[in-house]
Amino acid sequence: MSVRPYRDIYRRPSRRIMVGEVPVGGDAPVTVQTMTNTLTADAAATIAQIRRCEIAGADIVRVSCPDAESTEALRHIVPEVTVPIVADIHFHYKRAIEAAEAGAACLRINPGNIGSAERVREVVRAAKDYGCSMRIGVNAGSLEKHLLEKYGEPCPEAMVESALEHARILEDNDFREFKISVKASDVFLAAAAYQQLAEACDYPLHLGVTEAGGLRAGTIKSSLGIGSLLWAGIGDTLRVSLSAEPEEEVRVGFDILKSLNLRHRGVNVISCPSCARQQFDVIETVKVLEDRLSHITTPMTVSVIGCVVNGPGEARETDIGFTGGGKGTHQVYIAGQPAHRLKDRDIVDHLVELVEAKAAEIEAEKAAAEETGGPKTQAADAAE
């Protein structure tokens, strides 16, 4: 029994597959994916975008492979990046085989869409030969005709049936290294489809609310859809689909996981909305601070609170706390305890210094623990 059982999430048991060197499913951490929006055939631009996604924390990146130029470009892209690459294939089975040969770690392909049984066998053979996993990606907007006729409209049952039909084709080819997604732009439909699929199989699930919208609306929709599923223990990897740059998708994905305590990466800033009691400009301070701390990957919590109403209480639970005080004299907390006061100094500069020092300390402890094989400190243990 944990100390705070109301925070516990019991993840659905799922089989574990590998996407390159990244495990998905089983007891592996929930991974964050995104997708490039450069022309894949433009290898230099695609590599640059993937690297930006890596810096933002992406575990896995997907690229579209609509033509042979794209799969050819994969040969140049894969060796230049560290994250495993998923090749997004729609109907052309040859692109799947080329992508496997070119170093893709995973193929996003629906085997029911690529034609004959022989073509499926060829794709599976290539996946096995080159160590690729697959993702079956069902989308409410492109359900098979026979299922739309059977069910009348896209519904959770039709989506699950579609997913299981594709899964059966791979199983019949003795291939089980795949994950499944059942995405819809409607949050209710996506969530219900995932819930039903979670009951129907033990394959790892790739979560997503598709075509979710721009940064703000899409973040809210995704947080509700993906967040409610994760909270219920469903989901092994996720992609937040936004009409925004892929790095933003990665940041939102991590923020969803951080909110549910499922992953810890970088600084989790706890800040108040501010009001007439604030003793400094909370909104501007947090805006600049989040930006200045975006390079920190060490898991850490920082509270930035406008006044003593909530400041000391929030600081108690954080690595570094900051509370606005009267006459421009603010209170700094370290590890929940009052440490020193700050007056006539730039708040952001001071907090950045403290966070960087704390991050260095945690990383050093982690490295020392790894070297000696000894016990990690609690802080070091909080890493992903």
Choose the stretch contacting ligand SF4; rule: CB under 6 A; options: 40-48, 143-151, 211-219, 306-314.
306-314
Q: Which of residues 277-296 bind ligand SF4 (CB under 6 A)?
A: 277-278
Phi, psi of 237, rounded to the nearest 5 degrees: -155, 155
The interface region with ligand SF4, picked from 92-100, 184-192, 249-257, 303-311 by CB under 6 A, is: 303-311
User: Which residue's Cβ lies closest to ligand SF4?
Assistant: 306
Cβ-contact 200, 188 below 8 angstroms: no
Q: Which is nearer to ligand SF4, 42 or 281 (CB)?
A: 281
In the bound complex, what is the minimum distance in angstroms from residue 279's beta carbon to ligand SF4? 7
Q: How far apart are CA 68 and CA 355, in angstroms?
A: 47
Please give the Cα distance from 135 to 205 (Å, whole number): 9
Q: Is the dihedral of CA 81, 367, 255, 283 positive or negative?
A: negative
- Single out the residue of 71, 81, 17 nearest to residue 246, CA to CA: 81
Q: Which residues contact 58 (CB under 8 A, 6 or more apart)?
A: 32, 33, 34, 50, 83, 246, 250
Question: Would you call 269 helix, strand, or coil by DSSP?
Answer: strand
Output 227 or 306, the one with its CB closest to ligand SF4. 306
Told to check if 274 binds ligand SF4 by CB under 6 A, we report: yes
Q: Is 65 annotated as a binding residue?
A: no
d(CA 300, CA 288): 17
106 labelled binding-site residue: no
Stretch that binds ligand SF4, among 77-85, 123-131, 272-280, 368-376 (CB under 6 A): 272-280
The dihedral through the CA atoms of 352, 358, 364, 366 has a sign that is negative
| Contact flag: residue 273 with ligand SF4 (CB under 6 A) | yes
Q: Which of 17, 114, 160, 272 binds ligand SF4 (CB under 6 A)?
A: 272
Nearer CB in complex with ligand SF4: 222/331: 331
In one letter, which amino acid is 261?
Answer: N
Instruction: Decide if residue 304 touches ligand SF4 (CB under 6 A).
Output: no
Tokens of 300: 């850490």
| CA-derived radius of gyration, the chain | 23
- Residue 310 interacts with ligand SF4 (CB under 6 A)? yes
Is 272 within any annotated ligand binding site? yes
Interacting residue with ligand SF4 among 288, 309, 334, 352 (CB under 6 A):
309
Q: By the criterion CB under 6 A, which residues form the site for ligand SF4?
A: 272-275, 277-278, 305-307, 309-310
List residues forming the annotated binding site for [4Fe-4S] cluster: 272, 275, 307, 314
